[in-house]
Each structure stands twice: as C-alpha cells, then as structure tokens.
RNA sequence: GUCCCCAUCGUCUAGUCUGGCCUAGGACACCGCCCUUUCAAGGCGGCAACACGGGUUCAAAUCCCGUUGGGGACACCA
C-alpha cells in the first residue's frame, strides 16, 4: 500500500474547457449520467444529466446513459421505462446506453458482475484491498468509540485476514467476509475539480470502504470506477455529494492502473427557499412552501381531471413526470434548469438548445447550491408558452380536454375552432397546457354548467335586481344582429345607457350566468365563443336557478 | 463530533481569478399608481444584497486571516 501514499493527480490548467479547445479535439469527450432504476426521474438528477449532455454536445463528444442497478435487480425494465421516457421528453438524447447500446457496453451494471469481480481480485492481488471479517456491530463499536473521543474513525483492521488460513479461521467463527480497500493512512490525495479548483484531501481521513459484499456482489464505488474506465468517460460531472467520494474512487482507479477522468462537481439543487439539497423524501416539508404547494396543487387538479391515479409519492414537482403530465414545455423546464447553477453573463435568460450547447462551459458553473424556485419556473414556462401560436397551444391543450372527457378523440372542425377561440381569448392565462381545464365551461353542454357558489350568490342570488336586469337584457338579446365582440360591447353599453345603470351591475351577473364563474377572460369574447343560442339558454337556466332558491 | 465544500437583493444570478469603470447590473417575485367588466396582461414608478471582524493597499464585493452561518460526506445505499 505504500505505493498509494502521497499519490498525486495534477491536471494542468489548460484542461479547462474554454481554454482547451485543441485538447478536446484530441481526447474524445465522453460524459455519462448513471441513474438507478427507481421508476422516476428526479429534478435534481435531470439538472446533472443536462449539464453532462451539454458538455458532451458542446465538445462534439458523446453522452452515455448507464444504469446503476447493482442493488436492485427486480423489475429493472419496468422501472427504467419512465426514466428513458423522461429523457426523451426533455430531448436529452443519449449516444450509448439502454436501447441504443454502443461499443462500451453492457450499460447495465447488473450485467457486469464478473467484470467487477475481476477488478476486486486485481486489487486484492496488488495488496490494495483485503479480506475482512468484522461484523457490522464490531465496526459500529469502533466508530462510536472514535466519535466519543472526538476523533475521526480509523478501522483497527483487527479482523483483516492476511492469508487463506486466517480467512478460513475467521470464517469458521461464522463470520462473513467482505473485501475492503486498503487505504493509505499517510499523505494526501490531490486532484483538480473543474468547478472547484485544486483539492487536497488527507488519505488518513478515508475509510477502508467495502467494495465487495460477502455474497460476491460489488458496491457502487468499485462498479462506478470500473464502468467509467470501461466506457472511457473523460469527464465525470456529478452532484456535489460525490465530491468526498472522489479520493476513494481515485484510489481504486489508480490501483487498477486506469487513467483518471476529469472531475467536476456541480452544486446541489436545493429546496425552495433553502440551501438544503432537494430530496424526494421531504415532500411534506416542501408543501409548506406556498409557491411549491401552489404548483403541486395545480398539477394535482389537472391530474385529477384527467383521471390519473396519483399519490404524493408518485406525482409531485420533484419528479419530472409531473411536468409532462401537467402540460409544461420541455424547453421551458430545461431552460430553467440550465440557469440553476450556471449563467452565461449578466443578462441572457433564454436559450435555444443550440445556444445553450454553444455557450455552455463548466467554467461558468457556480459553487453554491441553487434553490429550486417554482415561481421562476412558471415564469419561464409562461414565456415559452406565449412564444407559440394559438394553434400550437391548442394542439397542446387538446389532449387534456380529451382526457377529461370534454373533447372527442377526433374533434370536429367546429370543436377545433372553439378550442382555438378559447386559447386565443385565454391568452397569457394559459400557462401550462393543462390550464385549459380552467375553461371547461366552454366545452360542457349548457345544462351541465357548474356554478361557483360564492360568485353565484354574490352576483345573482343576493344581488338586488340582478335577475330582473338579466331578464330584460336577455329579452333584447335575440335582436342582436351582429355577434362579434365589438358589436356585443356596443349592445351591452346601449342596454346600460337605457337602463341608466352602471355596467358593473349587469356584467358580473352575466358572466356568472354564462360561465358559472366570477372571473375569466373578456366577457364579449366569452359570448362570441358560446354563441347566441347558448348564451340565451345559459341566462335562462341561471335565472331559474337564482329564483328557485330565493326567499 | 470529524473531514470537505460554500457564502452578492426574498429567489436565480453578473461582477471575484486579472483590486479602481460598482453611489453593485439583470431576471423572477413583491409593493404603489395608471388602464379596466372580473382575473390576467400592459404602462409608469418603487423597495431590496456584497454574512461579520480584522488585516494588506492610495483604493477591497474582489486579495489574506479569523469568526459566524449554510451545505455535503463520514454505510456490506447509490
């Protein structure tokens, strides 16, 4: 193990991407993202994947997807599908990995157990790892004792088996043997992080990490290091939580005779309004943040209307699927995520894919955690949504109406026209495509219109004279010759003049009668969309309803 | 507890390496006012930050030291 002491890894400064254009042409840039098949894609993970993808694309390299399934072997295919789907939805294409394969496969760790085992044997043979028979309890006692002394834990190596005889003897006691790294206890590990700069860590602070379990399966650090080498990963770009894992991986890599990749550790994506890493397990806490809760609620309402069976665990704003099902634009989400920990300059906010690929560099990645801000995400979404034409937005909205049973699978051209009218009238109020469900009143039969109880009471039932005014207005309505917004405005204003009333004393009642709601887009637009017949029917029905329960 | 990392408006950030152009710029949010049939949108205006303390220097957001605060890691998880 003496070999390991004081090993240094010096990357020359010219390896920084912006200064290394020539270098990058010589070495093929290969980055990777290695999700566990958990069944969903975490928003923080996507940000990491995005930076890997951008770095590879910027340098004309390759982006690789590898599946870290050493631990759970069940239903990998099933749990993988939503992840691959998420990547495709976001437009993050991978050059090698599941379904596309490639020259450096297999891309599933579960398929490489033999390969890892050979690496373990190599480390064992080189004296860089050892067989160990300590029980978890014994180890824990040593850990506790070190902590009580306020010192860092250093394993006593008491149950280390130096040879086969010792191993047999310890095994005879009923102990299970694992393989541990024989970490150096003097000297320091040096490496350059492309985000953080030069790093120096004392080897003595490192543990004798387990790399292989008693059952022969291997652990993350070993598998990951071997894979990065096998897949010729040039730049390991990952979350900051891995920064302190780096020395042990360097130890493994060097022990195996590998050239080291470059490392870049990205700042964490943090909770809304906090610097704590965003986690999938703390949803209840995030829901106490009003903005996060509002975003979540919006999604839940849309999913509910679509008849999706969702739970907090499977459907929330920490999971990428949430955004697709709510009707977000992938470009908006990606653009927002890009700016979480990276900025080009002091003013550029919006990037096309081409622009972000062209301008991305690790040099401009920040070091401090960036908190996830649902409000700013919505602002990006709104911007991207407004950049689309009415018919594009209508196309995005249609599936939501279909899913809620408000629009036929094959809509008639009249249906389509109505949808476009509603989308146009809604304008910037339609932020995510699922928001179309806020305007369901334009897609339900007149008799099925639901009334907002509060608005109905305020504007019709309890507003003195409202019903009578509505009746007189409706009586004149069939005489309206032109049925467009400006004609209707003139018509209503004439009515107001004749009646000698303020416009507010009829228009609110009319809105509730026609749409069931106290708020909405322009009333004349609403009338045009509904048509004369519907308007009359709805006013009649509202008056009946108001009179029926009047004292 | 130990080790490592980090620190500019409420949030995302520019500026820090290469000290002066910074009475600190932009965006989102927020607060007024205007417009207005509601809700939005729009127009105009506004509030708001260099964590703290020492140095170095003619000059510090920028360099150095310390403090505080925050985060991450200390698994037979990944």
| Distance, CA of A15 to C1' of B60, in Å | 31
And the tokens for A502?
A: 């303020």
Question: Nearest nt to A378, CA vs C1'?
Answer: B28
- The bridge status of strand A62-65 relative to strand A30-33 is parallel
Q: Where are the alpha helices (DSSP H) in A327-389?
A: 330-338, 353-359, 374-386
- The bridge status of strand A235-239 relative to strand A262-266 is parallel
Q: Is the CB of A173 under 7 A from strand B?
A: no
| Distance, CA of A438 to C1' of B76, in Å | 53
Q: What stretches of A18-171 adopt beta strand conformation (E)?
A: 30-33, 62-65, 129-132, 160-161
Q: Is the CB of A44 under 7 A from strand B?
A: no
For residue A11, what pLDDT is reported?
A: 30
Question: Counting runs of H as helices and runs of E as strands, what totals does chain A give?
Answer: 21, 12
For residue A26, what pLDDT is reported?
A: 63
Reduced to 3 states (helix: H, G, I; strand: E, B; else coil), residue A254 is helix
For residue A170, what pLDDT is reported?
A: 94
Distance in angstroms (rounded) separating the CA atoms of residues A113 and A116: 5
Residue ranges, chain A, pLDDT below 70: 1-26, 71-75, 549-551
Q: Is the CB of A548 under 7 A from strand B?
A: no
Q: Give chain A residues 352-411 with Cβ within 7 A of strand B.
A: 364, 366-371, 373, 375-376, 379
Q: Which residue is nearest to nucleotide B14 (CA to C1')?
A: A346
| Distance, CA of A241 to C1' of B64, in Å | 29
Q: Which positions of A are catalytic? A: 280
Distance in angstroms (rounded) separating the CA atoms of residues A212 and A219: 6
Packing angle between helix A76-90 and helix A330-338, nearest 10 degrees? 90
What ipTM was predicted for this assembly?
0.95
The secondary structure of chain A in percent helix, strand, coil, rounded to multiples of 5, reads 55, 10, 35
| Distance, CA of A44 to C1' of B44, in Å | 39
Distance in angstroms (rounded) separating the CA atoms of residues A66 and A112: 12
Reported as a single tens digit per residue, the pLDDT across A180-226 is 999 999 999 999 999 999 999 999 999 999 999 999 999 999 999 99
For residue A549, what pLDDT is reported?
A: 63
């Amino acid at each position: 193990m003496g070999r390991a002491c004081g090993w240094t890894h010096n990357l020359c400064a010219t390896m920084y991407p912006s200064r290394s254009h020539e270098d990058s042409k010589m070495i093929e840039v290969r980055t990777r993202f290695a999700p566990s098949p958990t069944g969903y894609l975490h928003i923080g993970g996507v940000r990491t994947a995005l930076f890997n993808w951008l770095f590879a694309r910027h340098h004309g390299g390759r982006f690789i997807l590898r599946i870290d399934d050493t631990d759970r072997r069940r239903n990998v295919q099933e749990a993988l599908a939503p992840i691959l789907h998420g990547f495709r939805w976001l437009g993050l294409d991978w050059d090698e990995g599941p379904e596309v394969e490639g020259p450096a496969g297999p891309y599933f760790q579960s398929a490489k157990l033999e390969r890892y085992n050979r690496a373990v044997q190599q480390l064992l043979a080189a004296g860089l790892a050892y067989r160990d028979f300590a029980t978890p309890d014994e180890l824990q006692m040593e850990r506790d004792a070190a902590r009580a002394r306020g010192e860092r834990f250093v394993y006593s190596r008491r149950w280390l088996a130096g040879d086969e005889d010792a191993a047999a003897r310890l095994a005879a006691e009923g102990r299970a043997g694992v393989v541990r790294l024989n970490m150096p206890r003097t000297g320091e590990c040096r490496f350059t992080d492309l985000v953080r700069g030069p790093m120096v860590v004392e080897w003595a602070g490192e543990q004798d990490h387990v790399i292989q379990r008693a059952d022969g399966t291997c652990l993350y650090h070993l598998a990951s290091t071997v894979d990065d080498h096998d897949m010729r990963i040039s730049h390991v770009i990952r979350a900051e939580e891995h920064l302190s894992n780096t020395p042990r991986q360097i130890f493994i890599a060097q022990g195996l005779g590998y050239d080291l990749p470059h490392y870049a550790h990205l700042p964490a994506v943090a909770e809304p309004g906090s610097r704590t890493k965003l986690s999938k397990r703390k949803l209840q806490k995030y829901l106490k943040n009003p903005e996060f809760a509002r975003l979540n609620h919006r999604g839940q309402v849309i999913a509910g209307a679509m008849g999706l069976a969702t739970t907090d665990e499977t459907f929330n704003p920490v999971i990428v699927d949430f955004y697709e099902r709510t009707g977000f634009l992938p470009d908006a989400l990606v653009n927002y995520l890009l700016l979480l920990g990276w900025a080009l300059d002091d003013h550029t906010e919006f990037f096309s894919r081409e622009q972000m690929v062209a301008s991305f560099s690790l040099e401009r990645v920040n070091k401090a955690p960036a908190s996830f801000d649902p409000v700013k995400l919505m602002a990006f979404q709104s911007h991207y949504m407004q950049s689309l034409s009415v018919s594009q937005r209508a196309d995005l909205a249609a599936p939501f109406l279909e899913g809620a049973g408000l629009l036929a699978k094959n809509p008639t051209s009249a249906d389509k026209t109505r949808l476009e009218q509603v989308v146009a009238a809604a304008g910037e109020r339609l932020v995510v495509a699922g928001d179309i469900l806020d305007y369901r009143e334009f897609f339900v039969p007149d008799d099925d219109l639901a009334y907002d109880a509060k608005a109905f009471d305020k504007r019709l039932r309890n507003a003195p004279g409202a019903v009578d005014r509505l009746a007189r207005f409706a009586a004149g309505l069939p005489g309206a010759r032109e049925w467009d917004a400006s004609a209707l405005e003139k018509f209503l204003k004439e009515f107001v003049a004749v009646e000698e009333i303020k416009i507010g004393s009829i228009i609110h009642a009319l809105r509730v009668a026609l749409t069931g709601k106290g708020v909405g887009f322009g009333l004349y637009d609403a009338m045009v969309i509904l048509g004369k017949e519907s308007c009359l029917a709805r006013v009649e029905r509202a008056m009946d309803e108001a009179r029926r329960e009047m004292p």
